[in-house]
Amino acid sequence: MELKEALNGLKKQEKRKFEQTVELIINLKGIDMKRDNVSAVIAVPHAIKKKKICAFLDKRSGLVDSITLPEFEKFKDKKSLKKLVKEYDFFIASAPLMPKVATVFGKILGPTGKMPSPQLGIMMTESEENIKSLLEKINKSVKVRMKEASIKVAVGKENMKEEDIAANILALYEGIANALPKKKENVRNIMVKTTMGKPIKVELK
């Protein structure tokens, strides 16, 4: 089914009392889960949702929730660390603080894939301008990690324009395919669905 037709099909499914997320599912083949560690940060043309972001900084910022170096002590116990990780979607940091961030927060942030990375999350120079630019970039990016032979990722919300959702799907599909060892040869099939809806198979070129 063509993408436009599939997105139309999602609209005709039963409505729910909440705004559903539109998801892209890419089922894979020829992947060795132990060897092929697929992870990528992909830029999308349209923000899907405003992410909750926390920053590890030298000075508190008015743009983002901040944890400064003297406050790292509060997160020495596992309980407060776990609470922090659950509360935020994304973490950013000033580069000089990264060794300390890794020591205090690494054991919890690492396994959840939320550790600030050079790809998207570490600032060489701490400034309000750099923080603002990074926040904008993060809100238009999707982090993809393969946990099984199927990748499921949010591409939009029900009330977004159909063409915006389609543009996000194409950007994510290209980005994920490029991160696979054998590119599009590793793709078994592609589906789109809403949170509570039935998946619809789609053909992407």
DSSP per-residue string spanning 127-193:
-HHHHHHHHHHHHTEEEEE-SSSEEEEEEEETTS-HHHHHHHHHHHHHHHHHHSTTGGGGEEEEEEE
Query: Kind and range of the H or E element at 94?
Result: strand 90-94
Do the beta carbons of residue 176 and residue 42 sit within 8 Å?
Answer: yes
- Pick the residue with more confidence: 40 or 28? 28
Give me the mean pLDDT over the 46-75 stretch. Answer: 94
Give me the mean pLDDT over the 132-150 stretch. Answer: 89
33 pLDDT above the threshold of 80: no
pLDDT of res. 146: 81
For CATH 3.30.190.20, list the domain ranges present in the chain.
3-47+141-202
pLDDT of res. 189: 96
Please give the Cα distance from 175 to 159 (Å, whole number). Answer: 24
pLDDT of res. 91: 96
pLDDT of res. 153: 94
Assigned CATH topology for domain 3-47+141-202: Ribulose 1,5 Bisphosphate Carboxylase/Oxygenase (3.30.190)
75 pLDDT above the threshold of 80: yes
SS3 47: coil
Report the chain's mean pLDDT, rounded to a whole number.
Answer: 92
pLDDT of res. 143: 83
Residue 40's closest CA among 111, 115, 144? 144
pLDDT of res. 36: 79
pLDDT tier at 197 (50, 70, 90 boundaries)? very high
SS3 14: coil
pLDDT tier at 148 (50, 70, 90 boundaries)? confident
Please tell me the CATH code under which domain 53-139 is placed.
3.40.50.790
Give me the mean pLDDT over the 19-41 stretch. Answer: 88
